[in-house]
Amino acid sequence: MSMKKTEQIGANQYCVTFDASRETFDAAITKAYKKAAKNIMIPGFRKGKAPRSIVEKMYGKEVFYEDAINELLPEAYEEAIRDFDKVIVSRPEFDIETIDENGVVLTAKFFVKPDVEIKDYKGIEVTRNVAEVTDADVEADLNRTRERNARMIEVTDRASAMGDVVNFDYEGFVDGVAFDGGKAEGHDLKLGSGQFIPGFEDQLTERNIGDEFDVNVTFPEEYHASELAGKPAVFKCKLNGIKFNELPELDDDFARDVSEFDTLDEYKADIKAKLEDRNNKAADADVEEQLIKALVEKLEADIPEAMYETETENFVRDYDTRLRMQGLDLATYFKYTGLDLDTIRKQMRPDAERQVKTRLALEKIAELEAVEVTDEEIETEYTRLGEAYGMEADKVKEAVAAEALVADLKVKKAVDLVKESAKIVDAKAE
């Protein structure tokens, strides 16, 4: 098996012609025959016992050619491209040129990583927008914590009001006739939450426990149940109970209950510091996003469609993996959402294109800047991955090839290089 010739047949597309000797091809035919023989029935022979010559005489000598080529193809192709000096980025399309007394000649067509140009990647001007942490932000965070620590209190001495959780029975009627799905007993509803159609919750206020009353509403024109859309309805209701969330007082006791601090002022200072750290990290992420966008715009390359298609499929597989971690899969997701695989691919295509361009730009920068990765950095990254995925470093090494890890580390260093050389202007964001 050997490569006979390589020729460029299009933009970043090549065709490799390679062959397998007659001896190699015959060995593959024999192997294909042995695999298929057990299912072959020839009159006069027990099933699976017909000689190869008899089978070929009955069905033609080409009967095992396809299986034989599939048998030898992987090894023959790998050997043919062993010294090929470009990075292949698509699955090869194989074709048979000839089969004769000399053996078989095959071709493989594929796309390669394009040549890339990128200029002016140093000194990119971006704005670092850091959102200021206000007293209102701190109060909002405090109130969220208060709500998580609130307790539900039964109300017996007043009428219902917005913000209360009421328990009530109801049955709905349209034109005097009860409709499906319009009845419930012991239903809890927080007034003001907007869970019911407009006007319903307002009419549950200023009601006392035990009150029986009618709620008159009109279903929206765009209501999901077409038989009810736009129609007036009467709900006969009975109020069973009223509750409200009692928020804890904002004082030092509250701070001690929900944090490691002794005073409310210390707790507020810690909240502010954490919010500032969050805003700074968000600003840093936005800076990187601006830089990546700029690099993509500066990239010059004739990128094969195959690279975009491959990356899109990677996105789809990653999404399926995330769904499976939640106990779902793509088939179930499609069933619930009404989407399909083509729609998901279309949705993910823009991000896939951006990812391909970003990677090409950063790899080129790493090449231009002669970025190197040390053995210590490789070991550190294996350790980090092991800790992140709860695996021993040796297991990570089995799963992630060193070459792939080095390539990723070079890309990360390229990002750092672009960021360090950028002209970053700090500004306060709204």
Shared domain check, 240 and 296: no
**How many residues can be counted in the chain?**
430
Shared domain check, 291 and 223: no
226 three-class SS: coil
The answer to the question of residue 119 being in a domain is no
The answer to the question of residue 117 being in a domain is no
Q: Report d(CA 202, CA 251) in Å as an integer.
A: 34
Cβ(396)–Cβ(384) under 8 Å? no
Which pair of structure tokens corresponds to residue 97? 């040129």
The answer to the question of residue 134 being in a domain is no
Mean per-residue pLDDT over the chain, rounded: 92
Number of domains in the chain: 3
Q: Report d(CA 125, CA 290) in Å as an integer.
A: 9
246 three-class SS: strand
Q: What is the pLDDT of residues 6-16, one digit of tens each?
A: 999 999 999 99
Quick one: which of 145, 128, 142 has its CA closest to 272?
A: 142
The last residue of one of the domains, among 91, 112, 133, is 112
pLDDT number for residue 54: 84
**Helix and strand totals (H; E) in the chain:** 12, 13
Q: What is the pLDDT of residues 281-322, one digit of tens each?
A: 999 999 999 999 999 999 999 999 999 999 999 999 999 999
- In angstroms and rounded to an integer, the radius of gyration of the C-alpha atoms of the chain is 35
Cβ(214)–Cβ(238) under 8 Å? no
Shared domain check, 337 and 196: no
User: Which tops the pLDDT comparison, 194 or 3?
Assistant: 194
Cβ(373)–Cβ(409) under 8 Å? yes
Percent of the chain with pLDDT over 70: 99
pLDDT at 74 over 80: yes
Shared domain check, 158 and 21: no
Q: Report d(CA 383, CA 390) in Å as an integer.
A: 10
Q: What is the pLDDT of residues 207-249, one digit of tens each?
A: 999 999 999 999 999 888 889 999 999 999 999 999 998 899 9
379 three-class SS: helix
Shared domain check, 165 and 108: no
pLDDT at 33 over 80: yes
Shared domain check, 279 and 387: yes
Q: Where are the beta strands (DSSP E) in 321-382?
A: none
The answer to the question of residue 386 being in a domain is yes
The answer to the question of residue 271 being in a domain is yes
CATH assignment at residue 40: 3.30.70.1050
Cβ(111)–Cβ(90) under 8 Å? yes
The answer to the question of residue 12 being in a domain is yes
pLDDT at 423 over 90: yes
The answer to the question of residue 139 being in a domain is no
CATH assignment at residue 422: 1.10.3120
Q: Report d(CA 235, CA 214) in Å as an integer.
A: 6
The last residue of one of the domains, among 188, 212, 246, is 246
Q: What is the pLDDT of residues 373-419, one digit of tens each?
A: 999 999 999 999 998 888 888 888 888 899 999 999 999 999 999 99
pLDDT at 4 over 80: no
Report residue 46's pLDDT band, with 50, 70 and 90 as the boundaries: confident
In sign, the C-alpha dihedral spanning 254, 260, 266, 268 is negative
pLDDT number for residue 428: 67
Q: Report d(CA 18, CA 5) in Å as an integer.
A: 7
Shared domain check, 214 and 179: yes
Shared domain check, 303 and 217: no
CA angle in degrees (0–180, nearest 5) for 264-147-263? 10
- When pLDDT is averaged across residues 132-146 and rounded to a whole number, the result is 95
Shared domain check, 99 and 167: no
Shared domain check, 96 and 169: no
Quick one: which of 376, 356, 360 has its CA closest to 368?
A: 360
- When pLDDT is averaged across residues 108-122 and rounded to a whole number, the result is 96
Report residue 182's pLDDT band, with 50, 70 and 90 as the boundaries: very high
- When pLDDT is averaged across residues 79-96 and rounded to a whole number, the result is 91
- When pLDDT is averaged across residues 23-52 and rounded to a whole number, the result is 84
Shared domain check, 108 and 211: no
Write out the residue range of the structural domain in which residue 157 sits: 151-246
- When pLDDT is averaged across residues 151-156 and rounded to a whole number, the result is 92
Shared domain check, 75 and 28: yes
Phi, psi (degrees; rounded to nearest 5) at 222:
-95, 20
Helix (H) or strand (E) holding 323: helix 305-325
CATH assignment at residue 207: 3.10.50.40
